[in-house]
Structures are given as structure tokens and as C-alpha cells.
Structure 1
Amino acid sequence: MDKLSQWLEGVGIPHIRTREPGGTPLGEKIRDLLLDPAHAEMNEETEVLLYTASRAQLAAQIISPALKEGKWVLSDRYIDATLAYQGYGRGMDLQALRRIQDWATKGLWPHRTVLLDCSIQVAFQRMQGREGEPDRMEQEKESFHQKVREGYLELAKGEPQRFIVLNAANPLDQVLEEFRKKFWEPLSRKMQ
């Protein structure tokens, strides 16, 4: 995200950065509820509705106005996260999730999704190296995270024109080079 933001600045493309859940004052409060390990009892419907509420606020308050101003929006997670986590990970109905996301965002779907893919073992090793306690979602079993990963890969397979899948098991410089080749170079050619 940092590198893409730098590249966009370098060529004068106005953009904003945001994250999910969160990105707005209300969304950040919802984020606290969603990720707090103290809420381990949260049921699946509550979880998906809270993620969707945060997203609806972000779409209305931040994303839609930015797009109307001609800005690019870089978001750390968006609709695909709900489809992967709650759809594939929790086993919730994908079509129902798509409908509620479409309704909540007024049809505001991503143009591109960059999927940083690595094995669950690599992801868990990296999480162990972080400071602080794992959040509620990070504390899920390895089998859940495997389903989420497989879900993301299935989404990418279903929409190869939208997804850019990068091998995130590689060192950062290699991941950035792969991103440059798959995203930035084709985009640069179109802008010329």
C-alpha cells in the first residue's frame, strides 16, 4: 500500500488510503468491537452485519465522495474480505453476502483487488513476530484461516481480470517487483 501510494503520488494521481473495518470514526468503534478477543461469543450474523455496517459507513462517508472527486481509493480490505472470511471461512451463503454488500455499498465494488497470498504457516509465523495480543479473528483456528485462504483464491480464480495474486511468501522486494510487473507496468502503458 505504501509503495503504490508513492507511485501514484509520483505520477500525480490523486488518491486516498483507508482500511476495513474502520476508516471512519464510527467504523473504528465497530472495528474495536469486531476485533476485541473479549467478544469471542459473537455469532456469525452479528459479525457479518457489523463488518457490513462499518463498510456502509466507509462507502458513504469516504469512498463514494473520493471517487466523485476523481480520486483513487486504496483500501486495506473491502468486500472480498467478507466473502472470504464469512462466506468461505464461516460457511455463510455467498449469494446472500453479495446481496447485502451490494445493498450496503450502493453497488460500490472494487475495480482491482491485490491478494497477498502465502501459506497459513507463513502467515502464523509472521503473526507471532508482532507485538501485542492477536485479535479475535487472528485467534481463530488454523483450519478457519485455511478456508479463508482457499476462499480468496477461489474468488481470484472466478474474477482473474480483477484480482492480482502476489506470492507474499517472498521477501518484500520480490513482492513489490511482482506487483510492479502485474499492476503498475500495464497501468503505466495505459496512461501514456
Structure 2
Amino acid sequence: MSQQGKFIVIEGLEGAGKSSAISLVRDFIHAKTGAEPVCTREPGGTPLAEKMRDLVKIADNTDPLCDKSECLLIYAARAQLVANVIQPALAQGHWVLGDRHNLSSIAYQGGGRGLMPLVQSISDVILGDFKPDLTVYLDINPKVGLERAALRGELDRIEQQKLSFFERARTAYLDVAAKDDSIIVIDAEQPIEQVHKDILTSLAAQGWA
């Protein structure tokens, strides 16, 4: 196992292919380190955080979740996950592979919901300088992604948002990625074989010992 753990996150809109990308990167990490990474998902990843995930994902028309409450719940879940799982694992030299992290909040709550000042303020308080070593953002046209997502079955509360919500989220993703060298943008509308090839090429280029 590497003496210093790495934190890698897979990001993307609905239908971008995160699940297959996570499996690919998990295999890459195992081959590189000889150990399975600690895999997380957000929101969620701890018993308490999973309860918060349910509140965010499941629609309750008798008491609709307001946008600010959604944002606060997601950051509360993230605080639990970072404090109780991610940071301890990294400190022990484990690699951590995340299904979403803070960039999702910047995109969905900041861009999609129009709450960027709130997102930035909470992020500064909850995370400070803590961030992934590498984020792989799978970029896809929201219309294409939602068509793919619909084929998987019933959509959750977030997936049921209007197309314009996801268009704003994508813009936020790309705006941040353009300014952050630790975020790799992959064209997720390519054939899956090429998507996976591009991900592996990006990982190999990191030069991690």
C-alpha cells in the first residue's frame, strides 16, 4: 500500500456513466496499490449521512424540501463522511474513491439552484482547504444524460428537475474545471471504450509513485 493515500472523485451529471467509471478506477487503484480503495458516495457514506441522503433524494409533497435545506443537508452529510471516513482512511494510507464530492454541490446547488454564495460559504467552513487529489468529471449534454438516466427506471427527486437545472449545473462544472488543474474533463458522449481509455490515460499521467 502507498504510504500516502490519494483521494480520487468521479463526477458527472445523470447518465454520464459514473458507475462504470468508478469500477474502472477501482480496478486501477487495486492494480496500483495491491489494496481495495475505500469507496464512498455522496450524499451518504455513513449511517447518519445515508439518512440525510434519503431526505434529499425522496420527494415529500406534503413538506417539500426547500433549496437551502437541501444544500444544508448535503453539507451536513459531507461533514460526517469527511470526518468519519475519508480523512481517517487517508491518514492511514488508504486510497479513497468517491462517487461525487464538493464539486457536485458547486454544480447542483450552486449552479442549478442558484445558491453559489451559500455553497461557497458553507464549503469554506466545512472543508477549508481539503479537496480531492484528482477529480474525473464526465461531461455530457444534459439532454443526452437524462435520456440515458430514464432508461434505468424511476427517477429520484433530483433527477426529476427540469432540463434547465442540469444545463446550469453543467455550466458550473465546466467553469470550475477550467480553473482547476486537479479536475480532468472527459467527453462522456464518446463510445464507452474511448471514455475508459481517456480515464486511464489521465490517471497514468498523474505520475503517482
- TM-score, normalized by length of structure 2? 0.84
Q: Find runs of 4+ consecutive structure 1 residues off by over 6 angstroms.
A: none
Match of 2:54 in 1: 32
Matched, 1:134 2:155: yes
For the residues of structure 2 that align with 1:190 and 1:42, how far apart are their CA atoms?
42
- Aligned partner of 2:127: which letter? T
1:83-122 mapped onto 2 (5 Å cutoff): 83-94=106-117, 96-105=118-127, 107-122=129-144
Given candidates 70, 75, 82, the residue that maps to 1:47 is 70
- Aligned partner of 2:24: which letter? K
Match of 2:190 in 1: 170
Q: Is the 8 A contact 2:112 2:166 kept in 1?
A: yes
Matched, 1:66 2:89: yes
For the residues of structure 1 that align with 2:86 and 2:120, how far apart are their CA atoms?
19
> SS where residue 135 of structure 1 aligns?
coil
Alpha-carbon offset, residue 12 of structure 1: 1.8
Alpha-carbon offset, residue 44 of structure 1: 1.5
> SS where residue 178 of structure 2 aligns?
helix
> SS where residue 134 of structure 1 aligns?
coil
Matched, 1:186 2:205: yes
Alpha-carbon offset, residue 114 of structure 1: 0.8
Given candidates 160, 166, 169, the residue that maps to 1:148 is 169
More helix by share: 1
For the residues of structure 2 that align with 1:90 and 1:35, how far apart are their CA atoms?
15
Alpha-carbon offset, residue 41 of structure 1: 2.1
Structure 1 residue ranges without an equivalent (≥5): none
Structure 2 residue ranges without an equivalent (≥5): 1-21
Distance of aligned partners of 1:74 and 1:47 in 2 relative to their CA distance in 1, 3 Å threshold: same
Aligned length: 186
Alpha-carbon offset, residue 102 of structure 1: 2.9
> SS where residue 33 of structure 2 aligns?
coil
Match of 1:9 in 2: 30
After superposition, the C-alpha distances for 1:10-58 in whole angstroms (9 at most, x for unaligned) are 1225421100000011111111110002257211210110000000000
Alpha-carbon offset, residue 185 of structure 1: 2.0
For the residues of structure 1 that align with 2:46 and 2:84, how far apart are their CA atoms?
8
Question: Percent of aligned pairs with the same residue?
Answer: 37
After superposition, the C-alpha distances for 1:114-157 in whole angstroms (9 at most, x for unaligned) are 101110121011011102x2111101000011000111011101
Q: Is the 8 A contact 2:106 2:116 kept in 1?
A: no
For the residues of structure 2 that align with 1:13 and 1:47, how far apart are their CA atoms?
38
Distance of aligned partners of 1:49 and 1:190 in 2 relative to their CA distance in 1, 3 Å threshold: closer
Given candidates 69, 75, 81, the residue that maps to 2:104 is 81
Alpha-carbon offset, residue 101 of structure 1: 1.7
Alpha-carbon offset, residue 70 of structure 1: 1.2
Q: Is the 8 A contact 1:88 1:147 kept in 2?
A: yes
For the residues of structure 1 that align with 2:71 and 2:150, how far apart are their CA atoms?
26
Alpha-carbon offset, residue 106 of structure 1: 5.1
If asked which structure has higher relative contact order (CA below 8 Å, sep 6+), I would say 2
